[in-house]
Amino acid sequence: MKATVRLFARLSELAGSREIELELGEGLSAGEAYRLLCTRYPDMAAYAGTVMYAVNAEYVLPEYPLRDGDELALIPPVSGGAHAV
Amino acid sequence: MKATVRLFARLSELAGSREIELELGEGLSAGEAYRLLCTRYPDMAAYAGTVMYAVNAEYVLPEYPLRDGDELALIPPVSGGAHAV
Amino acid sequence: MLFEVTSERLDPERLVNHVRKDESGAVILFFGDVRNNSEGRRVLYLEYDAYPQMAEKVMRQLAEEVMARWPLTDVAIQHRTGRLEIGDTSLLVAVSSPHRKEAFESCHHLVDRFKEVVPIWKKEVWEGGEVWIEGEPVEHS
Amino acid sequence: MLFEVTSERLDPERLVNHVRKDESGAVILFFGDVRNNSEGRRVLYLEYDAYPQMAEKVMRQLAEEVMARWPLTDVAIQHRTGRLEIGDTSLLVAVSSPHRKEAFESCHHLVDRFKEVVPIWKKEVWEGGEVWIEGEPVEHS
């Protein structure tokens, strides 16, 4: 099955891309997909304790099983709003 | 000596005027000037417990002695800002 | 700092531009608007009276009070007088500061204090009656 | 309600007009502006990245959260993306309610929650370096 992984901020810089198509084994979880990406982009492993997961624009737990066509987003700690306010 | 008394809101309606020139005895206090006005406009007496005094645009105590040329303002309880917010 | 009592329509953009500085990360703008009801009465319009010279002086004192208590970058206040319709803005308070917490707290405090001490009065006009409001009504939330 | 992530300059007037209703006596508008310094560094500009579809969804969830907790009349939120200069506004939050207390409390809460969960990120660029900010820095006041 296929999933699209969306990357933002530093994660997209590490991958050199904002969107990656992944070919995955059936029932692979969001967290497993992230670890798979870490084998391609080892610097992403620094986010192991802090990255959050969203599937189809909703936060999910790392155990969430992906389905064909899902959009998985890797969410590093957010920092919207103004500057240190 | 002379003082100008400024009236606002309901007090100006009771006096039918926003500004009154008062001829006063030397050293009369702000509170005494108010009681003098109450003899002319008896309905003003309802404000005895709540009216505040300002002389030359600064809040003062009722005992404050007026001087010639002072501008005395009788300040009913204020209600600026929006509507019951 | 900017303090104004005016019979003109208030100008939120001007206040915000006035308080915004390069070192301010947060600006809070409070609008006090005329509501369509008060204690169950359907309000038609409000009429504001003021002692403008004194009101501007007291506004400045309040601003100095909060600037001494919170690390703010600037404060501006405008109040309108005369007849105001439903939805019109009677009071604008703008506060800027490096961090948001101080901006929220000080702006809230400023509005509370404004209603206690600034010599401005409103008259409510509803169908079949009117009354000068004296003192701030208790909040029913 | 109105929730937007946009690369355009934000529009405070539109947000205020959106949340203002005949029964709202208070409107609070929060501006998150780009400051010229951060932890001692002189900031040149900021760059914002976002996951817009999800950000707008999360903003709506936050708004529903506060509307359930406080008696508000409406909420609107806008966030800007791309390169922002010192003094530019990155975040606008507008809240309206019949009484001011609820407006202040809920707007403050909304901004706090926004910075915890909405998928938006900023990169600080200063002379000789840049860094993606991850998580909200601790406030030094």
Mean pLDDT of chain D, nearest integer? 93
C-alpha C139: how far from chain center: 17
- Phi and psi torsions of D64, nearest 5°: -65, -35
* Inter-chain Cβ pairs, chain B and chain C, closer than 8 A: 105
Contacts of B59 in chain C (CB under 8 A): 58, 117
For D46-67, letters b (16+ CB in 10 Å) and e give bbbbbbbbbbbbbbeebbeebb
Chain A: list its partners (3+ Cβ pairs within 8 Å).
C, D
- Phi and psi torsions of B70, nearest 5°: -65, 150
ipTM for the whole predicted complex goes beyond 0.90: yes
How deeply is D115 buried, as exposed, middle or buried, from its count of CB atoms within 10 A (0-12, 13-18, 19+)?
buried
Within an 8 Å CB–CB cutoff, is residue A12 touching chain D?
yes
Number of H helices, E strands in chain A: 2, 5
Instruction: Give the separation between CA B7 and CA B5, rounded to whole angstroms.
Output: 7
Examine the pLDDT at D84 and tell me if it is beyond 80: yes
Residues contacting B44, CB < 8 A, separation 6+: B11, B14, B15, B34, B37, B38, B74
pTM above 0.80, yes or no: yes
How far apart are the CA of A15 and the nearest CA of chain D, in angstroms? 15
Residue with the two structure tokens 């409406």: D74
Return the pLDDT at D137: 54
Return the pLDDT at C135: 83
pLDDT tens digits, residue range C31-65? Answer: 999 988 877 788 899 999 999 999 999 999 999 99
Within an 8 Å CB–CB cutoff, is residue C104 touching chain A?
no
Instruction: Give the separation between CA C51 and CA B9, rounded to whole angstroms.
Output: 10
Q: H or E stretch including C103? A: helix C100-117
Average pLDDT over residues D27-32: 97
Per-residue confidence band for D136, with pLDDT thresholds at 50, 70 and 90 = low
pLDDT tens digits, residue range C88-133? Answer: 999 999 999 999 999 999 999 999 999 999 999 999 999 889 999 9
Contacts of C96 in chain A (CB under 8 A): none
Contact at CB, A76 and D39, closer than 8 angstroms: no
Per-residue confidence band for A80, with pLDDT thresholds at 50, 70 and 90 = confident
Q: At what angle do helices D12-19 and C12-19 cross, to 10 degrees?
A: 130
* Inter-chain Cβ pairs, chain C and chain D, closer than 8 A: 103
Within an 8 Å CB–CB cutoff, is residue D21 touching chain B?
no
One-letter amino acid at C117 equals V
Chain C: list its partners (3+ Cβ pairs within 8 Å).
A, B, D
Instruction: Give the separation between CA D41 and CA D125, rounded to whole angstroms.
Output: 10
Contacts of D27 in chain C (CB under 8 A): 30-31, 33
| Helix, strand or coil, per DSSP, at residue D18 | helix
Binned average pLDDT, 10 residues per bin, chain B of 85 residues: 96 97 93 97 96 97 97 96 58
Return the pLDDT at C139: 44
Within an 8 Å CB–CB cutoff, is residue B84 touching chain D?
yes
pLDDT tens digits, residue range D45-67? Answer: 999 999 999 999 999 999 999 99
Residue with the two structure tokens 């990357």: A7
pLDDT tens digits, residue range A28-79? Answer: 999 999 999 999 999 999 999 999 999 999 999 999 999 999 999 999 999 9
